[in-house]
Each structure stands twice: as C-alpha cells, then as structure tokens.
Amino acid sequence: METTLRGVGVSHGVAIGEVRHMGTAVLEPPAKQIPVEDAEREQGRARQAVDAVAADLMARGNLAGGEAQAVLEAQAMMAQDPELMADVERRIAVGSTAERAVYDAFAAYRALLAGAGEYLAGRVADLDDVRNRIVARLLGVPMPGVPDSDEPYVLIARDLAPADTALLDPTLVLGFVTEEGGPTSHSAILARALGVPAVVALPGAGELAEGTVVAVDGSTGEIFVNPSNEKKEQLETAAAARKAALSASTGPGATSDGHKVPLLANVGGPADVPAALEAGAEGVGLFRTEFLFLDDSKSAPSEEKQVEAYRQVLEAFPEGRVVVRVLDAGADKPLDFLTPADEPNPALGVRGLRSLLDHPDVLRTQLTALAKAAEGLPVYLEVMAPMVADRADAKAFADACREAGLRAKFGAMVEIPSAALRARSILQEVEFLSLGTNDLAQYTFAADRQVGAVSRLQDPWQPALLDLVAMSAEGAKAEGKSCGVCGEAASDPLLACVLTGLGVTSLSMGAASIPYVRSTLAKYTLAQCERAALAARAADSAEEARAAAQAVLSGE
C-alpha cells in the first residue's frame, strides 16, 4: 500500500529504488580491566588506531576534494586532538583496554559539547563517527558505513557522517534519507555538491524495512513508500521534464522579461571551481576562506599560502565577480589560535568578524594576501565580513580593508537580525550586502542550524525570514547599492523567484543548483516574482508561504 512521508528536501532530483540501511554503529566495548604491565602496549594500540583513522579521513578528503576535503580534514584533527588522546592514555593507565578508553574518553567529550546547549550538535555527530571508526579498528570489526551492494539503492541512515557522504558513489546511491540533520547540515551541503537527491529530518526513516521500494523527491521532501506504477511514472515524467528544461536553459540568470539576476557559485576553494564553471556560474558569490584555515587549527596559514589559493579562484573568473568572505571562525568552526575555548555559548559569542577584530594581525594578513592575489587580474573582487551587527562593525572592517591597501568593494553579511533592521545604516560604511540565510534563520528563530528537532524553524520559507530579506533589499535599493543572497535559500528554484521579487540583486548557491534556478527563473516575469513574494510574506507559516508563492506562479 502506498504511503507518503515528508521530511526536508535538501537536494533536487528524484530517486526510486530499494531501501538499504547504513551499517550499524559500533557496539559498546566491554569494561574489563587490564594488568598494569599491559598499559604501555594498550596505549600504543590506541595511538596506532587514532593515527590510522586520521590518515584514512585525510585520504578520503583528498579523493573527495572541495568542501568535503575541508570537513574531513577537520574530522582528522578531531581524531588526533591532544587533550582527547591524553584522556585516553590516562584511562588506560588505570586499567582500561584501548577500545574502552577511547569509547569513554569520547563519551565524556560528547557530554561536554551537549552541555553547551547543543550549539555544537554538528560536531557531536562528527565526533561519534570518529569514535566509531577508532573503536572498530581496535576491535577488528568492519567500519560502520555505506552498505556493500551491486545494485543501485536508496540509502537510509540516522545521520550521515561527512566521511560517508563525501565518497558516495552516485551510480549506486540513487538518493539518501536521514532521520536527523537539517537543510544546512554538512550532509545536506555535500549532497547538493554531489547532485544526489536527499531528504533529511524524517522521523522514523530507520523503521523502513530493508528492500522496501521508495521514491524520494529531494525537491519537495516527500518519500513515497511502495509507490504505485502511476506514481513512479508521474515522478519520472516530472524529473525528465526538469532535466530537459535544464539542458535548454543556458546563459546569464534572468527573468522571462529580461530582468538580470546574476547566478553565482558558493565555493570552498580551488577544487570547487570546475563544477562552478561547468554549471555556468557568472562568478563566485561566496568564497568560504575558512576551509583554508582549517588545515591547521593551531596557526593561521602563511600569507604566501593564502595568496596561492585565492589567486587560483580569482584567475578562473576573468571579468567575473568574486565575493570573498574573510575568515568566519567560531561556533561550529573553532580554531585554537583564534577562538576562546571557554565560551558557554559559542554561536552567540566571539565568532566571525568579532574574532578577527580581536586578532587584527590575522585579518590584516588575509586582506593583504587578497590584495596581492588580485594584482594584475581583471576580476571584480569584492570582500565581505561575516557576523556584522551594526555600523560600527562595518566601519571597522572597511577601515581594515583600506589600511591593507585592498582595491576592492567592501561588504557586510546580513546574518544577524540587527543588520537587516539597520541595513541603511550599515551601507553608509560598505558598498554591498550579502544575506547568509542559514545563520540569519538561526538567530531570528533561536534555532540551532545543526539540530534536526528545530529544522522547521530553519526553513528559509519562514515569513519572518522573508520580511528580513525584504528589509535588507529595500535598504540597499534606497542607498543605490546591491544586496545578494548567498545562503542555502538561493538553491531552491521557487524561492529564488520569491527572493528576486523581494528585490535581491544576485543569487549564490552550490554549483549543482545553478541550472535548476536558471531554468525556473526564466519562466516568470519580474512582476510575477514580485506578486509571489507578496503572497509568501502574507502567509503565517513556511508551508503556507511556499504554497502561496506556488499558486501565484502557476496562475491559480
């Protein structure tokens, strides 16, 4: 019998196939005592296992490249965290086996993170994966992970660790569904980069029986269990129509009546550039430079290393626009040399621009490196600061850019409601705004972007969030300046039309989403987009806003 479930669609496309479940987590090792004379040998086993898992994660990162590489390298550093390792060795010294010591040390650290109000929930999931891999190696059992299968399947999991998502084989994994996660989780971002249909935050997904046939619609978040032949044909026809529309749509982003909306790419480094170029990106709307810094959490990369990485990206877009976000550290991206270790609530503490203003040498080096990287290139370089709260923040950043001799446009990200409310004030100091809708939603609704339980409040269709987008765009228009969106909201084709109707002047997204947004935007006039935006803002919930916009654009 056909039934329908609904989660959060995070990666476009349709997948139809049999369910396969993720390998189960490692069992808890027995708590048995070892003789004192065996402690040194057990400590050696633990170090070898940790080093082997870290090396495996680094190797997976090198294979995956791009954003996935940075995420996996961060996991490798987590595995080799000296404090964790010291705790493991202390536990072994008082009689624990290597595997039990690893299990208990990671459990203690996990409890510490959970006690911080779950603001580091994303890192907790990564921590669990690292622990499971180390314990599995020590026990000599298979690693938890993607199941072996000769036939294509739909993968079901409680959550997917970056190490699993990064190396999914799209020819075998038709799509995936997770019980946890949210639209801005690591898994969601990597799924979009891979072009694999995905649905997250689906309670009870783990109860789907192995071998059950499901149809996954990564656009709507719907899961059809035991779909009828008619439903399969309907979904496949719609998917084929979308694919044909994508192939037919080329060139710059624009509405059907010629209103230009540049479509830009979000990139994490040089490895993401080829996909952006292939998708027809008109430039880069968000260059996440923190991935360069995550290579070594103990110290900032040298000016020379930064110049090399930045220039590779800038050279790829001659005459194009490249918007670079300076280092956004803190919260779920802590760096030992930059972020305070004892903050009770890191997401509301010293992060983003606040960290950089506390460490002006790090900011100065990055801005100088950007200036040198752009020398002699025809690229239109723009540099923006994350976590700008008010005009004073914007002025401090613009002053630092000028002092570094940076010849570029200076901008501010709108991720804090105060920045949207006071957009015109901030624009007295900078030349453009860029809306980070992921964090803007997090701070507007007091809903951690990594916690699946509050994912409905992370839905970018929330009318309150659309109100803040409209305020920012209206402020920018009044000042004769631009206001783009670089958060994940821009990757939703229907929402892209609404954002255009709200007055947003450019859209930046993962490369895989660009063709979908381009083809959808080309179907409607600017006036239709404006009417859809008004209808969405008049709604009282995200679901009603989406339905209202859809009704306007479909002529209902």
> 412, 419 in Cβ contact below 8 A?
yes
User: What is the rounded CA–CA span in Å between residue 186 and residue 302?
Assistant: 27
Taking the CA atoms of 53, 56, 60 and 65 in sequence, report the sign of the dihedral they define: positive
Please list the active-site residues: 186, 486
Cα(440)–Cα(415) distance, rounded to whole angstroms? 4
Measured distance CA(183)–CA(198) in Å, rounded: 10
- Coil, helix or strand at residue 282: coil
Going by C-alpha positions, the residue among 334, 346, 430, 450 that lies closest to residue 388 is: 430
Spatial CA neighbour of 347 closest among 361, 333, 360: 333
> Where does residue 45 fall: left (phi above 0), alpha (psi -120 to 50 degrees), or beta otherwise?
alpha
Are 158 and 22 contacting, i.e. CB atoms less than 8 angstroms apart? yes
Q: 143: burial class by Cβ within 10 Å (0-12, 13-18, 19+)?
A: middle
Three-class secondary structure assignment of 51-100: HHHHHHHHHHHHHHCHHHHHHHHHHHHHHCCHHHHHHHHHHHHCCECHHH
Matching residue, tokens 């621009």? 353
The two three-digit tokens of residue 119, written as one number: 């603001």
Q: Rg of the chain's alpha carbons, rounded to an integer?
A: 24
Separation CA 324–CA 283 (nearest Å): 11
Q: Name residues whose C-beta falls within 8 Å of residue 198's C-beta, 6 or more positions apart in sequence.
A: 9, 10, 11, 175, 176, 177, 178, 187, 188, 191, 192, 216, 218
Amino acid letter, residue 127: L
Spatial neighbors of 396 by CB under 8 A, at least 6 apart, are 353, 357
3 state DSSP class of 442: helix
What is the separation of C-alpha 432 from the centre of its chain, rounded to a whole number of angstroms? 23
| Residue written as token pair 């139809």 | 16
